[in-house]
Chains A and B, each alone.
Chain A
């Protein structure tokens, strides 16, 4: 049995999620009502959007199946045609025009290795925790923890440098936003921290 490499496995996952998510959106959307007395109901557009998502998922899965059937062992499969950014392979302006990814689009990222996933996970996790803890710990503590975590674990800076930069950046940004821009930043709801003015 053919095993999938990581990029193709991710393509299968996203395509399947698109199909399942689309069906869910369409199903829930239809529940809001497709019609009403004056025309379409609140559920019409969600149903259309969900159906289009599901359709896109089906088309993508068909492409993946076709690629699997026809492809010889290819290191980066899925949509092989897209493995090189189009503007790097274009041979004429016309081809470039027809084959151009929108130039506003970010460059296609290489696929991450285990360490890459870990770095991404730490950043995502730190932002998530920071957002959830913000009302309790306040801006200064949360930002210090977030920046310190990223600098220490993602950027591999020394602990004391990470802590010093994180504290400095948190205090400086607080000063700029509160004093200069007049934006009130949240303070801690925990009494001890609030007592310290954090």
Chain B
């Protein structure tokens, strides 16, 4: 197993330089994560330019820390403001806010941080157990790699949003954008309109910043000045021994639920935290306390969230397939730093790969040590009037995009992507498939072309061998499931009589 390599990775991360970048990442991620509407995907996409100029390991360590910091920023606002930073924090809002109302905001945050750490740790242990299987993927040739990319594409499109047509549109748009530039096969310039800036294709960072960052700013701006409620006081910080005892088992159970849910396509965060909440409510002897400030209702979902955040990286590291928007952005960051996400990462850059995995633990540890005592500071960010924050974010995005290539053209790309993302949000077209199409598009095309070149144009090359046939079978099932999923969901909704958290959510 890979525990020796994990120790090596920890040794790499435990250098002053890497720890500093992890710390900086956590702080920046928290600062953006506490802003209403800015979840981890938006935070990471906004802050990618901060990592320009760093070496690959430092850059990815910092981005992973930004990811965790932003997620924990969402938890802080969920507990103290009743504003979940992202959908997966909704379950934490239910009991966390109630605890804070009773003057126990500090213990709620500490329990959330401890449970997150447990979830992250168990997620990493699972990661280490699974990682060696990535060697199997090294046996894949171009046809299998094409089918794996196609599988990722089919899975995320099938599981994104609740309208298959809109998910397909988003994915196809991403795929179309990915074809801009000089074709790698025969060298024909496609959709470049004789503009040299487009010969290398549309810049991923500019698109991601636009789609997830600018669209969010536009969405906030359309609402006018935002009124953020006054945060509740953190008061006493440390939880009681009873709190710790009561949260131990829920943290473990939540971690296991989160780990396995994270392996599913789409890495459904909200469903995972609600599933963990439901499990704890069912198993608890204090069922009546749920929704009124039960620590189990915080520990389970928070552990599940964090285990999911780690395990959702497994498909990226083992197969090179991102399964959610955040992971897709991370995949883009890997590529920008010259790293190929997937099994080749373990073969060609094992030190980097294990350092990144180890940084997932370290990031959690930093958050645990640093962020709970500083909760008041993060909340103070929200007291800065939003129009100044918005102006600062826009200036940062403008500068960040410009600094990619030192060209105003990237700003125009970011702007176009932002407007597209904003319109897509208005008509409820999911954004994840678009980014995924952009990332997986070149992989799909390259491996497709290579396969057919090797087989001299024989399409049967995609159906040779059990691996290919299995992959095709799974792709077909994924597409069919995606098509009928809305129907199943609406049928279940009519039949479902198991209330998980509707009463609490309705409050």
Contacts and interface: CB of A to CB of B under 8 A. Distances in A.
B172 A38 contact: no
Contact of A128 (B271, B403, B412): B412
Interface in B64-104: 86-88, 90
Interface in A147-164: 147, 150-151, 154-157
Interface residues of B, number: 114
A32 B183 contact: yes
A96 B274 contact: yes
Contact of A108 (B41, B217, B425, B496): B425
Interface in B179-231: 179, 183, 185-186, 188, 190-191, 212, 214-219, 221-225
Interface hub of B40, B278, B445 (most chain A Cβ within 10 A): B445
A137 to B, nearest CB: 11
| Interface SS majority for chain B | helix
Interface hub of A14, A92, A186 (most chain B Cβ within 10 A): A92
Closest 10 CB pairs of A and B: A39-B452, A103-B269, A155-B387, A104-B325, A56-B169, A116-B222, A52-B172, A59-B165, A93-B275, A42-B183
Contacts of B395: 143, 146-147, 169-170, 173
B411 interface: yes
B430 A102 contact: yes
B136 interface: no
Contacts of A32: 183, 188, 190
Interface of B: 37, 39-42, 53, 86-88, 90, 156, 159-166, 168-169, 171-173, 175-176, 178-179, 183, 185-186, 188, 190-191, 212, 214-219, 221-225, 266-271, 274-275, 278, 324-326, 387-388, 390-392, 394-396, 398-399, 402-403, 406, 408-409, 411-412, 415, 418-419, 422-432, 437, 441, 444-445, 448-449, 451-453, 455-457, 485-486, 488-490, 492-493, 496, 498-500, 502, 505
Contacts of A193: none
Nearest to A64: B165
A104 B449 contact: no
Contacts of A97: 268, 271, 275
A106 B42 contact: yes
A90 interface: yes
Contacts of B166: 56, 60, 79
Contacts of B490: 81
Nearest to A96: B271
A148 to B, nearest CB: 9
19 contacts: A28-B191, A35-B457, A38-B456, A38-B457, A42-B186, A45-B175, A45-B445, A53-B172, A56-B172, A89-B493, A96-B270, A103-B324, A104-B432, A109-B222, A120-B422, A131-B411, A135-B408, A147-B391, A185-B399
Contacts of B53: 181-182
B218 A102 contact: no
A124 interface: yes
Contacts of A88: 505
A168 to B, nearest CB: 11
A13 B176 CA distance: 19
A60 B165 contact: yes
| Interface SS majority for chain A | helix
Contact of A91 (B161, B419, B498): B498
B462 to A, nearest CB: 12
A191 interface: no
A68 interface: no
Nearest to B44: A104
Nearest to B186: A42
A18 interface: yes
B408 A134 contact: yes
Contacts of A42: 183, 185-186, 188, 190
Contacts of A25: 176, 191
B165 A155 contact: no
Contacts of B449: 38-40
B202 to A, nearest CB: 13
A104 B39 contact: yes
